[in-house]
Structures are given as structure tokens and as C-alpha cells.
Amino acid sequence: IFPATDGVRDILACDRHSIYRFNPDWSGELVYQSGGNLDWGAIASELQQQQGWIYANQEILVVHDLERMGFPPAQVKFWRSYGVKAFVHVPIMAGQKLWGILTVYQHQPRQWQEREVRLVSQVADQIGVAIQQADLLIQEQKAAEIASAAEQAMSQFLTLMSHELRTPLNSILGFAQLLSLDKSLSEAQLENLGIIYRSGAHLLTLINDVLEMSKIEAGQEQLYFEQFEIQGLLTSLREMLGLKAKNKGVELSCSCDVNVPPLVKADQQKLRQVLINLLGNGIKFTDQGRVSLWVSLTPDHRLSFRVEDTGCGIPANQIESIFEPFIQSEAGRAQEGTGLGLTISKKFVQLMGGELVVTSIVGQGSCFEFAIAFDVAESPTPVNLPVPTKLLLLPHQAVPRILVAEDDPDTRDLMVTTMANLGFITQTVVDGDQAIAQWQAWQPDLIWLDLGMPRVSGTEVTSYIRQQERVQQIPLGKAVKIIGITSSLLASDRDQLLAAGCDHFITKPFDLGLMFAKVRECLNLSYDYGQTTVAPPVKNYSEIEHQSQQMPSLWHQQLKFAAKAADEEAIATLVEQVPAEFAALISFLNQSVNDFRLHQISHLLK
């Protein structure tokens, strides 16, 4: 800014010019000068004593002849020592604040013209504007640095909280699953284990809600797409909320239009959380009547969700505020809850490309609607995977060696115990350096690698191993399989693992069935599942068809409609009408409902 003022000296044909800046205590410093060197010490002292009063009032000081202006002897002596006989002082105002002084000098007396003084004044005004803009830029840069530091701090907080809270839950839920496989336990003990597992799962949901809200506030929330069955999602919602609705005497229904693809790809976790919140609120604020969820397709091929209730409704003047954090309607304040649910739901819907809207009539009920983008998935993803009981090896197939690299002792013990019980050979390490050393010395077939290990992180370990494999020209089929373990909810952390070279990853707290499914996929293994809930293949299909053809046509029509509407209660009622001797048909219908495969019923009826 300051060198750009050199032009004023050329235009006025004066000897020199300078820019002086005031400090808050009215002291100051000479920040720029051209055409000669001045020591403003004496003038600065006097300006500090006067507190710049004449310039603070935006007064312009014009001196035609220093010797005849009546200045104090000290000032006259000061200016004379620099050969100054005439000058113009113009205040520089940054907004309403006095920033400094612009001065032009002459070595001999000079009759300053009004246009010359006006020119200096205009230059001073431009300097003030430029300084204001520069200060704003500096403030914005500082604000950006502060925001960046805050975002980094929040990211570190989320990572730490995810690890510190979710890692212990991993052990609780994991060992509860492991103990439930013990056939020596009594029915009461199994029920107690179920209580522990369900309570831990509920605590995990609460922790996730708090972390999700923190991620939203930090702008770090991302979508994580996975394929899932719509009917499976609706069934889980009915199972989760059905008892709560039944205890209140409220009818709960979750239905899907026949045109909706059975298998879709979207962020199931966020979608489930939104629907649980909306249905839960509907049940909470409905004392009689019904709460319903209807899923359909919009004309522009988006998934549409509509949740209706016959509850107390929301006053019109409160509809906008219910989406604000910690804000509840008058009815809501009489119920349990923190007021975060709708805020998170609205943000999640926006993240999925939709908008959550509500219409409500006091005393009649409310309706929440939104639509999201999705993709049609091609093949189903297994859910509720069973835990195997034994590792099955082919002839001459060696027992796989598994290295568990995990610094948390409880998680490490859980993984080693479950792996050893199935017959795997296992070894453990507690940090990244040990993981690299053990990989080199023991050459395991698969490594379970925690992302947040001390010394050397799991990501760095993976990158090093993959680099060494390339140097040693190890074929891709012979490379060690690496499954990353993370307690982070951030998609960026998961992407880091995969980009570094991990074959798969799982998130704490992880399901044991999923853990063994990942190992089976990586190492091409087979398991013995013992007694499991996995649906057996359909046998004697011709017999099932024959028995179905013996049922009345009205029964066929009702079953066809119930299957398309995903009305499990109606299907159960129709199954009760099947004669007991048609056992194959009864088993087929029940199994299709339990496995969320209602399309099999529709296929049978065709």
C-alpha cells in the first residue's frame, strides 16, 4: 500500500513525504517515507502528549512557512534540522478511527494550493480504505486459521472419543456374543447375557448420537453407502418399536409400495436413524390410533418416506423451531428426550439429498415426509451373520496363521480367543513396530490391524508392508491379507485404510459373525456353523407348489396382496389357515417371512 503513495510526491513536485502511524497510547512510529530520512522522535513525543487531538478531529494542518507560523522553538529547530520549511499534515482515518498521518514536505516556503491539499486528502482517504481492507483480510486469515485449528481439534476429539468409548463396548458386546455360544449355560443365564448385549447396544446408540451431532457441528459428516433390503429395514423397525407401540395401545405399520426395488444402495445407518427417530416420536406423542410408515418411489426415481401419526400434533408457531438443537414443542417438554433427534434427522436427510418437511394439525396428528436419492443394488449383502463353531480345511490345506495387532488388551483377548476356538494359529502384538517385525519373521496369512496403535499407526504399517511386498516382487495372490480395525466413525479414516492397502476393514464394536465372514472371504475358507439360524435351501419345491395349488383362490389373492404390501401380520393369519398336513408349504411361508424374502412368496403364487 505505502509505496503506491510515491506518486503524490511526483505530482506535487515536493521534496519528500512520509506516513506516520499512531499506537493506542498515542505514541507512534514512522512506517514509510521517501525523498529523505526523518527522525520523528521530537514530533512523536509532542503528538503523544497532545493525544493526536487535532488529527482525531480530522483536522488538516497546512504550513506555508514554518518560521512564521508560531510553532514552539523545539519544533522549529527539529524541522529546520531537516531543511523543512513547509508541509501539509493530513489525518489517515481507518473508518471512524484515527490510524495515522500523511505528510508532504517542502525545503522552502510554499503557498499550498487548495487543489494540492485536496489531492493529499484524497490520497489519505484511499490509504485509510486500503488499510481497512488489509486489516479485514488479516482478520479473515486469522479466523480461517482458528477455524482450521478448531476443526482439527474437533477431529482429534471425535477420534479420541470414538476410541475411548467404543473400544470397551466392543469387548462387552463381543464377549457377550462369545458366551452365548456356550451350550452349558442355562436359559436364565442366556437371558441375562441377552440383557447385557441389548443394554450395551443401547448405550452404543446413545454414544453414536452424541458423536454424530459433534460431527455435524464440525462439518465432518459424510455418507457411507451400502446395499440393503428395504423389507429387512422395515422388519427391523417393527421389531425395535413394535413392543413400545403395543404397550401404548397404538397400531404400528411399516409398508412398502410394490414398485420399490427390494435391494437398494444408500446410507442405511443414517436412514435407519432418521426413521427410528420419526417413528419413535410418533409413538411417543400418540395415545390412541396409529403410527404408519409408507415407502414409495417418486416420479423422479427417488425413495420417498412418509411417517404419519394420529397424535397430539404440533402448533403452527412451533413447527419451524422443532428442528433447532435442544428445542422441543410444548408436548415434547412433557416427555423424555434432549431435543437433538429432529435436528440430527434434518441434517441427515439434507446430507442424503432430501429435505425433511412436516405438516401437522393440533389434536389430529402430524406427517413427516422426505425423499432421498439411491441406487439399485444387484446382489444382497448378508445380514445377521452367524458365528461359526469350527474351521473346515481341505486335504493338505495348512491351518491359517493370524496376527492380531491391537493395543487394547480386552479387544485383543476377544479376537485371540474366538480365533483360537475355531482352530486358527494366532499371535499378538501391541504396536506398529512389533507388527512389522512379526510380519517379517512369522509371515502370517492374515493380519488384524488396529488403525490407532501407538508408535506406528495401522495405516503406516499397511503402507510399509505393501511397499516391501512390491520391492520383493511378491505376487498379489501371495501377499498377506490385511483387515483394518477402526473405532472411528469418520469415512475419511476408513478411506485412509483402504488407500494404504487394506483388503477390508471393520468398525468397533464389531459383530463376530461379520469378523469371521471377512476372514473367510480373504482366505477362501469354509466353516462349520453347527446349529445356526441360516435358512436351509428350499427342498421339494414341487411339493410346495402342489400344496399351494390346493388352497382356495381367495386365499391366493389375499396372500399375494399381503406379500406385495409386506404385511407380515396378514401373512401369519393366512398361514394359520393352511391345513397342518401341508407342512412343506407352512415351513416355506414362515421361512420366507423370517428371511425377509417375500419375493419368494410372490414367485410361488405366479
Span 133-146, average pLDDT: 85
Q: What is the pLDDT of residue 68?
A: 83
Where residue 243 falls among pLDDT bands split at 50, 70, 90?
confident
Residue with cell string 432418521:
274
* Beta-bridge mates of residue 390: 528
Q: Give percent of the chain with pLDDT exceeding 90.
A: 26
Span 128-132, average pLDDT: 90
Measured distance CA(309)–CA(292) in Å, rounded = 6
Average pLDDT, the chain: 82
Q: For residue range 46-55, list pLDDT tens digits in order.
A: 555 555 555 6
Q: What is the pLDDT of residue 190?
A: 81
Q: Is the pLDDT of residue 87 over 60?
A: yes
Where residue 310 falls among pLDDT bands split at 50, 70, 90?
very high
Q: What is the pLDDT of residue 215?
A: 65
CA nearest neighbour of 175 among 468, 12, 412, 369: 412
Measured distance CA(38)–CA(31) in Å, rounded = 11
Span 359-370, average pLDDT: 94
How far does CA 268 lie from the centroid of its chain?
Answer: 14
Strand blocks (E) in 349-392: 357-361, 365-372, 375-376, 390-392
Q: Is the pLDDT of residue 103 over 70?
A: yes
- Residues 427, 429, 434, 437, Cα dihedral to 10°: 10
Residue with cell string 487531538:
53
Q: What is the pLDDT of residue 541?
A: 62
Q: What is the pLDDT of residue 378?
A: 61
Highest mean pLDDT among 263-267, 330-334, 353-357: 353-357
Q: What is the pLDDT of residue 384?
A: 54
Q: What is the pLDDT of residue 431?
A: 92
Q: Is the pLDDT of residue 494 over 70?
A: no
Three-state DSSP at 551 gives coil
Q: For residue range 539-590, list pLDDT tens digits in order.
A: 456 678 778 888 888 888 888 888 877 777 788 888 888 888 888 888 888 8
Q: Is the pLDDT of residue 520 over 70?
A: yes
- Per residue in 305-341, is it b (16+ CB within 10 Å) or e — as a string? bebbbbbbbbeeebbeebbeeebbbebbeeeeeebbb
Where residue 336 falls among pLDDT bands split at 50, 70, 90?
very low
Q: For residue range 8-25, list pLDDT tens digits in order.
A: 888 888 888 888 888 887
Q: For residue range 268-303, list pLDDT tens digits in order.
A: 888 988 999 899 999 999 999 999 999 999 999 999
Assign 3-state DSSP to the chain and report helix, strand, coil percentages, each to 5: 50, 20, 30
Span 485-504, average pLDDT: 75
Beta strand pairing call for 365-372 and 28-34: unpaired
The answer to whether the beta carbons of residues 270 and 352 sit under 8 Å apart is yes
Q: What is residue 2's DSSP assignment?
A: G
Measured distance CA(588)–CA(604) in Å, rounded = 10
Which of the pair, 430 or 487, is modelled with greater confidence? 430
Beta strand pairing call for 390-392 and 289-297: unpaired
Q: 384: how many CB neighbours lie within 10 A of its CB? A: 13
How many residues are there in the chain? 606
Q: For residue range 171-216, list pLDDT tens digits in order.
A: 788 788 778 877 788 888 888 887 787 777 767 766 766 666 666 6
Among 361-370, 396-405, 509-518, which stretch is predicted with the lowest mean pLDDT?
509-518
Please compute Rg for the chain using Cα positions: 38
What H or E segment, with its residue span, contains residue 415?
A: helix 409-422
Q: Is the pLDDT of residue 338 over 60?
A: no
Which of the pair, 249 or 567, is modelled with greater confidence? 249
Measured distance CA(444)–CA(427) in Å, rounded = 9
The cell numbers describing 27, all together, are 505514541
Q: Is the pLDDT of residue 351 over 60?
A: yes
Q: What is the pLDDT of residue 79?
A: 79
pTM over 0.75: no
Q: For residue range 423-474, list pLDDT tens digits in order.
A: 899 999 999 999 999 999 999 999 999 887 888 888 899 999 999 999 999 9
